[in-house]
Every structure is written in C-alpha cells, then in structure tokens.
Amino acid sequence: MNLADPMSSVIPGVQGVILSILARTDQPLTGLTVAKLAGDRASAAGVKRAIRPLVAAGLVKLVPAGRAYLYSLNRAHVAYPKIVQLAELRNELYRRIGDAVSQWSVTPLYAGVYGSTARGQATASSDVDLLLVRPAGIAIDDPDWARQVADLSDAATDWSGNQSDVLEYDLAELCRLRDEGDPSLVSLERDSVVLYGDGIRTMLAESVH
C-alpha cells in the first residue's frame, strides 16, 4: 500500500488523487486548487480531464462559481462512506497496530511508527517502520516479548501489503541516546507517531535515568 496516499493503491491514477483530496475537506474546491494540492501527482489539465467521469458518475458534485467550478464529494452517494474509508486507510492501519499492542501480555512503554511512514512520505515499496520501547526487565530475546513482536510484524505486513521493520529500545537505551546527544533520538522525537503509550519526550522527561 502507498502509505502516503492509500487511495492510489485501490484507485490508481489522477481520479484516485482527486477523490483522496476531496475526501479530506468539507470545503468545495476549484479544479486549480485540487491540482495545486495534488502537487506533482496531477496537472491542472489532468485534473480537468479526470474529474469529468467522477461528476458524470455522481461521485463528485459540480457547482458553477463565476468563471470557475467548485467540486466536492457527493455525500449522499452510496459510495461516499467507502471513499472516505479508502482515504483513511493509513489511520486504520495505525489503529490496528495500537489495538494489537494494547492486548499484549507484555505491553511496551511505547509503540509507534517513525521515518517515512510517520512523515507521510512512504511509497508502495516502503517498509512500515515500527518503533517499540520495552518495559524494564524485559530483554529483547524474552520469548513472550519476541513472539509478540514477530506476530505484530507479520500482522502489519498483512494489513498493509508492506514489509515491516521493527526498531526496539528499552528506556535505559533511550536515556543513553539522550545523554549522548544522539541525533537519531532527535529525529525519533520529531517524526514518530504515537500509537500506544506516552510519547518519547514524555517518557524521557519522567525517567530518573
């Protein structure tokens, strides 16, 4: 799955881009605005061509506004809830990961995603970058812990279609990175998205290490 634009994994091309943009706003948009929000994924001419069949199918509403047209998703269309769900696939993946971790017999202090996954820059070929912080007294090779991590990695791959890559620390290791001024910790604090537990900065602030 393209984690930056999940809609494109199901509806490829400019039409998927248009639906993804319109699904994320309650405001009608001009075709030019849609093209600007699409960036390098679609030109103004491409948006103009691709949006016509969506209007004809009733998925997108068109309202004249002077010399321009305003476009919005047709909320009454039977497909509308599914379109919104497709646009929110990344959040659904995040929810599933957080829910899975919350049911572990040995829960982590923190679970989240980092890297291109968290920054919204991942592609269909990108890994799902998972970050876990183990509780005190749990070694990385603890059988129960290791089994849970392996199961989560497999599940994340099944849910997304992307390979998953798990980065693990315990709190003492994070404190050492902080004390050494390791730039990798700054990146994790800035870019990671919390799916379970407290944020990294909160954990470190509360730590006595």
- The arithmetic mean of pLDDT across residues 78-87, rounded, is 94
- The arithmetic mean of pLDDT across residues 100-122, rounded, is 91
For 149-188, what is each residue's pLDDT tens digit? Answer: 999 999 999 999 999 999 999 999 998 998 898 888 888 8
- The arithmetic mean of pLDDT across residues 69-94, rounded, is 95
Q: Give 34-75 as a DSSP string.
A: HHHHHGGG--HHHHHHHHHHHHHTTSEEEEEETTEEEEEE-T
Q: How confident is the model at residue 209 (pLDDT cuts 50, 70, 90)?
A: very low
The conformation of residue 79, written as its DSSP 8-state character, comes to T
For 3-47, what is each residue's pLDDT tens digit? Answer: 888 888 889 899 999 999 999 999 999 999 999 999 988 999 999
Tell me the residue length of the chain: 209
> What is the percentage of the chain residues whose pLDDT exceeds 70?
99
Name the residue with higher pLDDT: 206 or 131: 131
- Asked if residue 111 has pLDDT above 90, the reply is yes
CA distance 122 to 201: 24
Q: What is the pLDDT of residue 208?
A: 57
Q: How confident is the model at residue 96 (pLDDT cuts 50, 70, 90)?
A: very high
